[in-house]
Homo-oligomer: A and B are copies of this chain.
Amino acid sequence: MHLIVIKIGGNIIDDPAKLSAFLKDFATLDGYKILVHGGGKIATDIGKKLGIEPNYVNGRRITDEQTLNLVTMVYAGLINKNIVAELQAGGCNAIGLTGADGCILPATKRPVKDIDYGFVGDVKSDNINSELINKFLHTGLTPVFAPLTYSAGGLLNTNADTIAQEVAQAMSHHMPVQLVYCFEKKGVLIDAEDDNSAINRITAKDFDELKEKGIISGGMIPKLENAFTAIDKGVESVIIGHADDLHALISGDSGTCIR
């Protein structure tokens, strides 16, 4: 049996109707699956009401203690547990987790160089407790990860894309893994203005060419670099596409596939 690791971002989480539609699709997927979710604007909105202003140093977001408490409430509490409840209602036996639960995602607090990012964790697939994830899957549970990891000092804020990638890599020692990034575009676009211009497949050679021509640029470059790293580290395929098309992404009928 193979495993699908799916990441959804803040843009879906911020839209309750879209999130519900996505979770209905996710609940009906066959076989082993894991969901990793990001944050969303809701943490910023609640933070404002609590008088917690986003803290930036040199344009980089800092996780100070107040912000860590805020994201622990919102990511691990409000968002994670409501996703779990909605998946349960859809017949999917979800379990919500942070990296501290079962010490499943041990991380390193990011070392201070030019910037002190605060309570931010870097997670590496080799340290992930993939045995426990495997046990959960074989018990019929579907792990739902909030973007929080753990070090001996406590919880740490961690990028959800990275968690999805590292979990997929770690689990590829146990079974074949497909990694799916759901976002607001239909895939890697040849024409940024045309949402129907998604490339069906992309190889490392294609990527280099498209990057050189300036067709792939901006935030898509690190996304794809991470995807190729995942493939190098044993993940069978990475798919990038629209959250509305989950079933089509997995069957290969939508999105951009990286092998």
Q: Is the CB of B81 within 8 A of A155?
A: yes
Q: Is A57 an interface residue (CB 8 A)?
A: no
Residue from A46, A89, A98, A101 with most neighbouring chain B CB atoms (10 Å)? A101
| Alpha-carbon distance A180/B247, docked complex (angstroms) | 48
Q: Is the CB of A81 within 8 A of B148?
A: yes
- Docked complex: A56-88 residues within 8 A CB-CB of B: 69, 72-78, 80-82, 84-86, 88
> A2: shortest Cβ distance to chain B, in Å?
22
Q: Is the CB of B98 within 8 A of A102?
A: no
Size category of the A interface is 35 or more
Q: Is the CB of B77 within 8 A of A82?
A: no
A49 surroundings in chain B (CB, below 8 A)? 49-51
Question: Which residue of chain B lies nearest to A96 when distances are taken between CB atoms in the complex?
Answer: B101
> A39: shortest Cβ distance to chain B, in Å?
12
Q: Is the CB of A78 within 8 A of B69?
A: yes
A153 surroundings in chain B (CB, below 8 A)? 89
Q: Is A132 an interface residue (CB 8 A)?
A: yes
> A73: shortest Cβ distance to chain B, in Å?
4
A100 surroundings in chain B (CB, below 8 A)? 81, 84-85, 88, 94, 96
Given contacts A50-B50, A84-B101, 6 further A-B contacts (CB under 8 A): A76-B76, A76-B80, A77-B77, A84-B98, A96-B100, A135-B139
